[in-house]
Amino acid sequence: MLVVVSTGNEDGSATTVGQPTTPGRTFVTEVNEATPPNSVVVSLGDASTRGSVTYEIASGNEEGRFQINPDSGTISTVLPFDRETTGSFRLTVLAQPRRPGIAPATTVVEVAVQDVNDNAPKFIGPKPLVFEVSPATMPNQIIGRVLVEDDDSGSNGRVTMEIEPPANQYFTLGADGVLRINGPPPPTSQGYFELTVIASDGGDPPLETRGQVVINVVQSTSQSTSSTRPTQPGSTGSTSRPSSSAPFPVPQTPFTVPSSPTTQTTRQPTVPGSSMTSTGTTGSGTTGAPTREPPVFEKSQVEVSVPENEMPKILTDLVARYSNNQPGPISYVLKQGDPTLFGVDGLTGRLRTLKPLDAELETSHVVIISTEQAEVETAVKYPGQFYSITVMVTVTDVNDWIPNFEPQSYTATVPSDVQPGSILSQVEAFDQDLTAPNNVVTYRLTSAGLDNIQQYFNVNPRTGLITVSRSLDSLPETDIVLYVEASDGGTPPLTSQATVAVQIQPVQSAIIPENTDSFTSSPQNGQIQFSLRNYTTSVSEGVRPPFFVQILPVANKPADTRFVYCNIASGNYGGAFTVTAGADGNCELRTQVQLDRESIERYLLNVTVSASGLTDFALVSVTVLDINDNAPEFIFNNDLGLTMYFAGVSSTAPPFSRVLLVKAEDPDLGNSSVVQYKLDPLSVDAKYFSINSGIGEILTKQSMGQVIGKRQPYFELRVEAKDSPPTGKPMTARADVIVNVISDQNRFLMTARGIQPEQLRAHEQDIIQSMRPYTGQCTLISVEKMIENRQMADSEQTGTDVYWYAVNPNTKKICKKADFRNLFSSDASALIAGKMQPWFVLDKLTDRTAGYDVETAGDGEGFGGRWRAAPIALIVLAGVIALGALLGIIALCLFWSRYKVNRHTVHDYPSMYPVPKFGTLFLPGAPSEKIYETQVSRIIGSTKETLDGDQNF
């Protein structure tokens, strides 16, 4: 038996190697970690083994990433690969001959996963990295080390770093990450520098990450921890730095310290999490008695508020002054407060957060800022002065917690004859946000896999109590899964989902007693019973109660019919019917309440009749007939609860471009549920658009270049959805449509690697919810177009370019990219990429889309795509018409010339009209004297024909 091993080459061809399958045989192949599912890895069989050998993977496929065809032995991929998680697989394949008596053979297939550049460099350590320098720092002195790593291998994992200009004029960054200063720190009013380090890998295309580095300028202090202190002003000594927790050691470096006998010690507080520290000494370092009052603040307390989860930001600027505004050194210090959360600029008094705050942990913080001059023990202080200031920081709650179900799944069992209104189960979700409405949870049923399943069940939006809303007898399934969505009241709302597995148990009907076999059409004397055991009837849902439905005849009634009693034993959900005994002793069935077919479509009533202690039973099946009593209901395609449609159309869109698909549903039956659409002619901008009456597709009538600017800033339409009842008046629903024009100032681009457009559609809402925290008031985020990235496809990678735009639903206007520029920051991109990691790799999220025509990219869609070649077709048609016109002119000229030639050969006789009569002519010598009347006739012809005619006359 031969084993045919087929491995994929880079060009997509297959290499086939034939070898005998012997125990312990090993084959080695490679796959790219971006290989899509259902790709062939290796084939262990050929035509000769098909049908005679069965293949299976005995071991090595614990992750379920491979599958094997049992007949052909072809191993293919099932799930995507991640080389950084598993770099190779060792599969043991068992080949079992179908012929009995032949021992199976084993083959080992080793699959190595080739690396692709799917991981960007990552900075190691706290964010931001913080270092310290002294104003007296020598040129080329080491400040610290910046460490990065890349999980990829080879050139994909080789990282280079650079400092973003203009900070690279003052600092240099070596290939090993060592950060050096080129000279004394340049003057700064803030007391610190913020650098941006760009780390790029060697992939194709390369991936980059930006990291922030903060360098604090530490002023000279007398409280230095130096090992050697200068003995006199102006002297030079060596100072050893304290040990640092950074991974790169900082050597002892001699430097010159300027000194002054009157200089006080100041040390700017460093940002917590710093990887490097440095200190310096100055002056004699003596702490003498101050000769003046310390700086004072104007207030004793200020209040500021900051939203939770905000990136480090400036809270307030605090200012202290000397008495009478006299000059002097002022150094601000953090006297009280969490140094890991707050920091103050020692030179300017600017208070800022160092990392995001969490309102759920602590709603307020007390921070006290003072000056080093006021904290000296010998400082002279006077009553009534504010030598420190208290900052009350209030952390405001934002909607950052999603409702959490506990548990995530529920089960319930109900009998099939459960009455509407019965309690099925109750779900409960908790939201850990601090304040309302962010922590107010509402519930709704989203889907259950069956059409109109929400008509059978209902969930209380506040309590989560699930009840049965109509009879379950008509459900085709006995096992149903309900999906309950919990949504909070934040802006935008956050949602989660739980499942409720419902098992419907059939119930044996006890309507007919066990002795019903004795029923006969001819009842026995004295035995009361219905004339039939089963009755069938129908009634329209539009009748008003009480409405007579049917008579149920009773046989063998007693003589006195006043003592005949009729009753409904079961099946009368909601008390819809009533049955009474008539004057003739028969049971009469009537409606008791207004019926609703959309709630309960069929009733099965157990009706009893009793007299003289005897009872009989009958089943009455009542079908509720439908009428057109429900107007169509629009289904809006947004998750913000907006009751109008929002759409966008490109500013370069041609005529007949697809704008939006509106949809309305009608719960009625038959033609009453068929919905027709049209645009309200009275709406403002209906003249620019058309709609398909059958499917609700809205198209442009003209190119947007012709109508843009006529209506600003958006187009406003109204759509009507009307049902089609066979009789009666149709019912209509209306919905507003807002259409914004999309241009490059609104459009932004997301590139997803490792996923195709069809697959990306399933995660569209996940992407939108991850971007909303960074778009501010522009919460309505929509996809304009998804285009397969062909450049990735050429490099054996799948990818998708997604063009987005955002709309402010409050103003109905489309937003410019500048309105939500925070979305394009490196921090936001990193957080969004982390949330999308389970499904695809976020290659980039950028606002740079200029120069790319979205309308002409990719395949055409709808009428708009088919009409994009219209200009070329019109040019060709014009050319054909011009050519036909030219040929026609030439033909007319030829015929005209021939006509003129023929016209010149004709005699020109004088016009004689009317033709005169001549007098009588007598011919002398005639045999008989006859009178002839003569006339002149005009004959037109050629000269030759005339002469010939005269000769032949």
HEC profile of 757-826: HHHHHCCHHHHHHHHHHHCCCCCEEEEEEEEECHHHHHCCCCEEEEEEEEEECCCCEECCHHHHHHHHCH
For 267: left if phi > 0, alpha if psi spans -120 to 50, otherwise beta; the answer is: beta
So what's the pLDDT on residue 618? 92
Q: What are the backbone angles phi and psi of residue 871, rounded to the nearest 5°?
A: -60, -40
State both tokens at 313. 């930001």
Segment 138-159 shows an average pLDDT of 86
Structure tokens at 455: 């008509």
Q: How does the average pLDDT of the chain come out, rounded?
A: 78
**What span, in angstroms and rounded, lies between the C-alpha atoms of 124 and 159?**
13
Buried b (16+ CB within 10 A) or exposed e, 251-260: eeeeeebebe
> What is the Cα 118 distance to its own chain's centre?
22
**CA 86 to CA 617: how far, in whole Å?**
71
Task: Tell me if 45 sits within 8 A of 127, measured CB to CB.
Answer: no
Distance CA(627)–CA(645), nearest Å, equals 29
As a whole number, mean pLDDT of residues 746-758 equals 89
Higher-confidence residue of 168 and 796: namely 168
pLDDT digits over 289-340, tens only? 445 789 999 989 999 999 988 888 899 999 999 887 778 888 899 999 999 8
**Regarding beta strands 409-415 and 495-505, do their DSSP bridges make them parallel or antiparallel, or are they unpaired?**
parallel
Mean pLDDT, range 155-162, rounded to an integer: 89
Return the structure tokens found at 888.
Answer: 């026609």
Assess whether pLDDT exceeds 80 at residue 550.
yes
pLDDT score, position 324: 77
The string of pLDDT tens digits covering residues 650-698 is 988 899 999 999 999 988 888 888 999 999 998 888 888 999 999 999 9
In this prediction, residue 272 carries a pLDDT of 35
- Residue/partner pairs of 223-226 with CB below 8 Å, 24 or more apart: 223/265, 223/267, 224/265, 224/267, 224/279, 224/280, 224/281, 224/282, 224/285, 225/279, 226/279, 226/280, 226/281
What is the C-alpha separation between 316 and 352, in angstroms, rounded?
7
**Mapped to the 3 state alphabet, what secondary structure does 206-221 carry?**
CCEEEEEEEEEECCCE
Q: Which two tokens stand for residue 522?
A: 């001819």
Q: How far apart are CA 662 and CA 671, in angstroms?
A: 20
How many residues are recorded in the chain? 953
Locate 259 and state its tokens.
Answer: 């000194």
Tell me the pLDDT tens digit for each residue of 604-640.
Answer: 899 999 988 888 889 999 999 989 888 999 998 787 8
Q: For the chain, how are helix, strand and coil distributed in percent, rounded to 5?
A: 15, 35, 50
SS3 372: helix
DSSP state of 80: -
What CA–CA distance (Å, rounded) separates 625 from 538?
A: 7
Does residue 141 register a pLDDT over 70? yes
CA angle 395, 319, 309 (to 5 degrees): 20
Look at residue 939 in the predicted model and tell me its pLDDT: 53
Strand intervals (E) in 532-674? 534-540, 548-552, 554-555, 565-570, 577-581, 587-591, 602-611, 614-625, 633-634, 645-650, 658-661, 664-665
Q: Residue 64 corresponds to which amino acid?
A: G
- Report which of residues 238 and 571 the model is more confident about: 571
Instruction: Report the range of poorest mean pLDDT among 215-229, 442-456, 578-592, 775-789.
Output: 215-229
DSSP state letters, 138-171 = PTTEEEEE--EE-SS-GGGG-EEEEEPTTGGGTE
CA distance linking residue 417 with residue 571, whole number of Å: 8
* Mean pLDDT confidence for 851-859: 47
Number of helical H runs and strand E runs in the chain? 9, 59
Token pair recorded at residue 518 = 């004795």
pLDDT of the residue at 851: 52
Distance CA 292, CA 282 (A): 21
pLDDT at 215: 84
Check pLDDT > 70 for residue 931: no
Structure confidence at residue 732 (pLDDT): 93
Is residue 346 within 8 Å of residue 331, measured between CB atoms?
yes
How does DSSP classify residue 233?
T
Beta strand pairing call for 645-650 and 732-742: parallel
Evaluate whether 369 touches 342 at the Cβ level (below 8 Å). Answer: no
pTM of the model: 0.43
Q: How confident is the model at residue 274 (pLDDT cuts 50, 70, 90)?
A: very low
Model pLDDT, residue 25: 73
**783 pLDDT band (50/70/90 cuts)?**
very high
Map tokens 């402010």 to a residue: 808
Distance separating alpha carbons of residues 618 and 602, to the nearest angstrom: 16
Whether the CB-CB separation of 689 and 679 falls below 8 Å is answered with yes
Mean pLDDT, range 257-266, rounded to an integer: 34
pLDDT: which is higher, 557 or 547? 547
Q: What is the pLDDT of residue 142?
A: 85
CA atoms within 13 A on the CB side of 903: 6
pLDDT at 944: 45
- The residues pairing with 604 across neighbouring beta strands, listed in sequence order, are 621
Query: Above 80 in pLDDT, residue 822?
Result: yes
Which comes out higher in pLDDT, residue 948 or 745? 745
Distance CA 308, CA 363 (A): 9
Burial class (CB within 10 angstroms; exposed 0-12, middle 13-18, buried 19+) of 732: middle
CA end-to-end span of the chain, whole Å?
A: 111
579 pLDDT above the threshold of 90: yes
pLDDT band at 197 (very low <50, low <70, confident <90, very high): very high
